[in-house]
Amino acid sequence: MPPILPLLPLVVHPSPDNIIAWCDDGSVTRQQFLADVNQLAASLLPGGHLLNACGDRYRFSVGLAAAIVAGKVSLLPPAHTTEMVRQLKTFAPDVFCLTDNDDCTLDMPQLRYPIMSANENTTFAVPQIDPNQLIAIVFTSGSTGEPSPHHKTWGALVSSVQAEASRLGLLDNALPCTLIGTVPSQHMYGFESTVLMAWQSGHALSHAQPFYPADICRALTNAQAPRILVSSPVHLRALMDAELAMPEIACVVSATAPLSLTLAQSIEARWQAPLIEIYGSTETGLIATRRATQNLQWELLPGIKLVVDGDNTYACGSHIVTQIVMNDIIEPLTAEFFLLHGRLSDLVNIAGKRHSLASLNYLLNTIPGVVDGVFYMPDENDARVISHASHASHASHTLRTSEVTRLAACVVAPGVTSAQLLAALREHIDVVFLPRPLLFVDVLPRNDTGKLPRAALQALFQPAQISRKSA
C-alpha cells in the first residue's frame, strides 16, 4: 500500500486575483480558473477515463484539472488516428472525449467544451490532491504500433515540474511570466512544461498553440511579458529561417531532440535570451537540462541518478519511482553530469511527436499490395535537398523546407497508387509522419544479409531519382 503523504495543491498561485492564463479576451485569474474547473467537473460524462482533445491550451488545462477534481484519469495518446482511438477504447472501454472542436469525428462519446458562466462573486478553495492519485496515462508507440501506457501520479508530476521550474529560475522570479508553447499539451513535454509547470510555479500559460513561424510570432506578441517560449528544434529552426521581427523573450526552452550548437548560438545571439534544453522521455518525464552555448554536458535534476548496466543506462530517483531504461547512448561523467551520443533505438521526433521507424516500416509493409517498403529519415542537410526536389516534382506540395525535416519512404508496390498508400497509412499514424516524398521502385537495394545500408537509401533520394520516381 502506498505511503500516506501530505496533500498537494492543484495550483500554487497564492491569491484569487493571480493570473493563471492569458486568452484572446484577456487574463484569467485563479478564481475564474477554479470556477471553470468546478463547472466542467460537474458536467463530465460518467466514464472514468477522459481523452482530452482540446486544442486550446487553456481549455485543455481546465479539462485536465476538472478530471483530477472528479477523480478521472486523462488519457494522452501520441495521436488521434482511427487506429489509436480503437486501441484506446480497448484499453479503457469507458473512455469519453472532451473536445473544443465542433467538427470532432472521434468514434467515442463526446462532451463539447461548454460555454462557462461568470463566477465573479464566488471564491473557490484550491483543491488539495493526493500525491498518489493517478491523474494521467501517457502513451507511446511500440515497435508494432501498439500504444505503451505510462502511469503518472500527481506527486511524481509535481516533483518533476517543480524541479524544472527551479532549474529555469521561475520559482525565484517574482515577476509573473507567460509560458507560450508550440508543442501540443497532449505531448509529455507540452503537458509538463506548458501546463503543469505554470500551475506549480505561480506563472501563467498562454492559451495559444501556434505551429508556423508567423503564428508563433503573433502568439508571442499577444502574450504578456516576460515571455518564455517553450518549443522544439523544428519550430526554432523554422523561426530562425523565417527572420521575422520577434518581441522580447526572457528565455527559450527546447526539447524533443538535442539542438546543434550552431543553432543554439544563433538563437541566443539573435533573440538575446538564454536557451535551455531539457532532456527526458515519456517514461521518465524531465530528468536533466543544459545550456549548450555554455556547456555541452547535461546536468541531472536533484535526486535523479543514472545507473549503467552493460549497454543500458537506467534513470531512477526523485519522481522516477522505478528504474527506467533510457533509449539513448549516455556517457556519465560524474554523479550529476553526462553526455548524450545519439539514440539507441530508432525513434524519430517530428514537431513534438514521436514514432518508431520500426513501427512505421511494419505498418507500411502490412498494407495490401506492398511487396517491400522502408521509411527513411534524412539528415538535416539532405532533408533540404530532398524537400526541394520533391517540391519541384509536385507543384501542389506546400511544405516549406525551413519548417520541418520530413520522413521519406520507398516502396515496391506494383498496382498501388500513392493516394491509396497514404490513405492506408493515415488510418494508423499522425499526418506529420506521412512520407514526403514517397518513391516507387522495382526493388529495394538490400544487401546480402537483407539489410538496407543507409548509403544505399541516401542514393535513392537524390534529386534525379526523386524527380523520376516520386509519387
Distance CA 130, CA 420 (A): 49
Q: ∠ CA 397-104-398 to the nearest 5 degrees? A: 10
* CATH C-level class of 354-469: alpha beta
Nearest Cα to Cα of residue 352 among 211, 204, 202: 211
Out of 175-179, 321-325, 326-330, 443-447, pick the least confident. 443-447
What is the share, in percent, of the chain residues with pLDDT greater than 70? 87
Closest CA to 185 of 276, 87, 65: 65
pTM of the full structure: 0.78
Residue 117 pLDDT exceeds 70: yes
Using CA atoms of 169, 170, 174, 177 in order, give the dihedral in degrees to the nearest 10.
Answer: 130
Q: How confident is the model at residue 123 (pLDDT cuts 50, 70, 90)?
A: confident
Residue 143 is predicted with a pLDDT of 36
Q: What is the pLDDT of residue 79?
A: 81
Residue 131, C-beta contacts closer than 8 angstroms, at least 6 positions apart: 5, 6, 7, 8, 153, 154, 155, 156, 158
Residue 282 pLDDT: 87
* Tens digit of each residue's pLDDT (9 = 90 or more) over 303-312: 999 999 987 8
- Model confidence over 226-277: pLDDT tens digits? 999 999 887 898 899 899 999 999 999 999 877 888 889 999 999 999 999 9
Q: What percent of the chain has pLDDT over 90?
A: 60
Contacts of 171 (CB under 8 A, 6+ apart): 162, 165, 201, 202
Which residue's entry shows cell 546543434?
A: 260
- The radius of gyration computed from the CA coordinates of the chain, to the nearest angstrom, equals 23
Q: What is the mean pLDDT of residues 358-369?
A: 83
Average pLDDT over residues 172-178: 85
pLDDT (tens digit, 9 = 90+) per residue, 69-105? 999 999 999 888 888 899 999 999 999 999 999 999 9
Average pLDDT over residues 316-338: 91
Find out whether 44 and 67 touch, Cβ atoms under 8 Å: yes
Distance, in Å, from the CA atom of 320 to the CA atom of 153, rounded to the nearest integer, reads 11
| pLDDT value, residue 146 | 59
Band (pLDDT 50/70/90 cuts) for residue 142 is very low
- Order the strands of the 275-281 sheet from edge to edge: 26-29, 19-23, 204-206, 178-181, 227-231, 251-254, 275-281, 285-290, 298-300, 337-343, 328-332
CATH class (in words) of the domain with range 8-345:
alpha beta
pLDDT > 60? residue 469: no
Q: How far apart, in Å, are the Cα atoms of 151 and each of 85, 155, 187?
A: 18, 12, 14
Q: Which residues pair with 128 in a beta bridge?
A: 9
Question: What average pLDDT does the segment 186-204 reach?
Answer: 95
Nearest Cα neighbor of 253 from 185, 179, 321 is 179
Hey, is 464 helix, strand or coil?
helix
Q: What is the mean pLDDT of the chain?
A: 86
Strand partners, 79: none
Other Cβ atoms less than 10 A from the Cβ of 215: the count is 13
Predicted local confidence at residue 19, as pLDDT: 96
Is the pLDDT reported for residue 402 higher than 80? no
Alpha-carbon span 58 to 195, nearest angstrom: 8
Task: Tell me the mean pLDDT in the region 329-339.
Answer: 92
**pLDDT range class, residue 396, cuts 50, 70, 90:** very low
pLDDT at 317: 94
**pLDDT for 406:** 82
Q: What is the pLDDT of residue 1?
A: 65
End-to-end alpha-carbon separation of the chain, Å?
Answer: 57
| Residue 466 banded pLDDT, cuts 50, 70, 90 | low
What stretch(es) of the chain map to CATH 3.40.50.12780? 8-345
Q: Who wins on pLDDT, 350 or 164? A: 164
> What was the pLDDT predicted at 319?
93
pLDDT at 343: 65
Mean pLDDT of 97-124: 88
Flag the least confident range among 34-38, 89-93, 107-111, 326-330. Answer: 326-330
Is it the case that residue 439 has pLDDT exceeding 60?
yes
Other Cβ atoms less than 10 A from the Cβ of 13: the count is 25
Q: Using CA of residue 407, residue 410, residue 413, residue 415, what is the dihedral sign? A: positive
CATH 3.30.300.30, the chain: domain bounds: 354-469
Given a cut of 60, whether residue 26 has pLDDT beyond it is yes
Side-chain half-sphere CA neighbours of 168 within 13 A: 31
In sequence order, what DSSP letters do the residues of 280-331 get, joined into one string? EETTTEEEEEE-TTT-SSEEEPTT-EEEEETTEEEEEETTEEEEEE-SEEEE
